[in-house]
Amino acid sequence: MGATVIGSQFTPLSMTTQTPIRVAVTGAAGNIGYALLWRIASGDCFGTNQPVILQLLEIPPGMQRLDGVIMELRDSAFPLVHDIIGTDNAEIAFNDADAIFLVGSRPRTKDMDRSDLVAANGPIFVGQGKAIDAVASRNVKVITVGNPCNTNALIASANAPGISSRQFTAMTRLDQNRAVGLMAQRAGVPASKVQDVFIWGNHANTMYPDPRFGTVDGKSATDLFDSDWLQGSFLDTVATRGKSIIMARGASSAASAASAAVDHMRDWWQGSNGRIVSVSLRSEGWYGVPEGIVFSFPCRCEGGQVTVVEDLPVDAFAQAKIDENVAALLEERDAVSDLLG
């Protein structure tokens, strides 16, 4: 069946003379994609002077809904949006892409465990990895949002051998933002006052929000909050926040996930200004984490590059959490070994 393509050749006036970048979003008509697109189009992600061409991917049954999303984007008349392309063909969506948000994936249902989710979504990311390898910019920046995002990022990267594995990342920024929000709420300060709290491991309930290097309004987080809270209620609340949101609103996190994806890509693209942020990368042995799994590390971003902060001490509690996440991710990797090329 031939590819379906919606739109294109839409070029409104812009206040900038910069060359547009091509930004691909998969699952673009879904709840996260819908929330994400307006943030990208407004300049929140790549900068208020950076025009974009949006290349939006959906599965064939979602194309009518995507048509409606594109209508709304056009009706919003964003000056930075130079063109919009909607398609069900990955090679069209990823063609010359400078940044890719891999959002679309099969959602987890109540009768599925995590291994079922890995098995269901793995093949999607094989195809998308191959398409990225075939047609995307050699300098493309890829963030994987669709779950299980760490292992999906690994699958996509393994199937794109022509692109550096460092250009494939997975999103644990949502976990970081949840941790920051909880600390800010408890301290009675804006979230902007909380710095350098980051995530180790997997985007799952095993992830570890490390408070030891964090500050709250300039004060050490570990001095401000007692260890019982940090290793108890704080940790548990961050780990189960997604489930709590589903129970409260009857649907999974969408706006907060989109916002975290914007934060992740914005810092990667524009720099984190010296702040430590959470990025899941294919391990090169940092902190003793085995090579060949995508793991969240403390990172800084500068000049379009992500660098792992390698000199942080690891105490016994953090090490136990790192080891727990390593074990989980090795198990996931082994479950998809046939998809890794």
Query: Of residues 301 and 12, which shows the higher confidence score?
Result: 301
Whether the predicted pLDDT of 250 surpasses 90: no
Strand order in the sheet with 194-195: 194-195, 215-216, 219-220
Residue-level pLDDT at 312: 98
Q: For 178-229, how does the pLDDT look when each residue is reduced to its tens digit (9 = 90+)?
A: 999 999 999 999 999 999 999 999 999 999 999 999 999 999 999 999 999 9
Q: What percent of the chain has pLDDT over 70?
A: 95
Distance set, CA 273 to CA 49, 268, 306 (Å): 19, 10, 12
Residue-level pLDDT at 331: 94
Known catalytic membership, residue 82: no
Q: Which two tokens stand for residue 117?
A: 């989710």
Catalytic residue among 22, 82, 141, 203: 203
Q: What integer is the mean pLDDT of 288-317?
A: 97
Q: Which two tokens stand for residue 25?
A: 């979003």
Residue-level pLDDT at 38: 98
Distance set, CA 337 to CA 115, 293, 316 (Å): 13, 11, 31
Residue-level pLDDT at 252: 86
Q: For 87-129, how does the pLDDT look when each residue is reduced to its tens digit (9 = 90+)?
A: 999 999 999 999 999 999 887 666 677 778 888 899 999 999 9
**Cβ contact 53:22 at 8 Å:** yes
Q: What integer is the mean pLDDT of 38-63?
A: 98
**Cβ contact 24:57 at 8 Å:** yes
Domains of the chain: residue spans and CATH: 5-170 (3.40.50.720), 173-339 (3.90.110.10)
Residue-level pLDDT at 298: 98
Q: Give 1's pLDDT tier (boundaries 50, 70, 90).
A: very low
Residue 55 in 3-state DSSP? strand
For residues 277 and 76, what is the distance between their CA atoms, to the nearest angstrom?
32
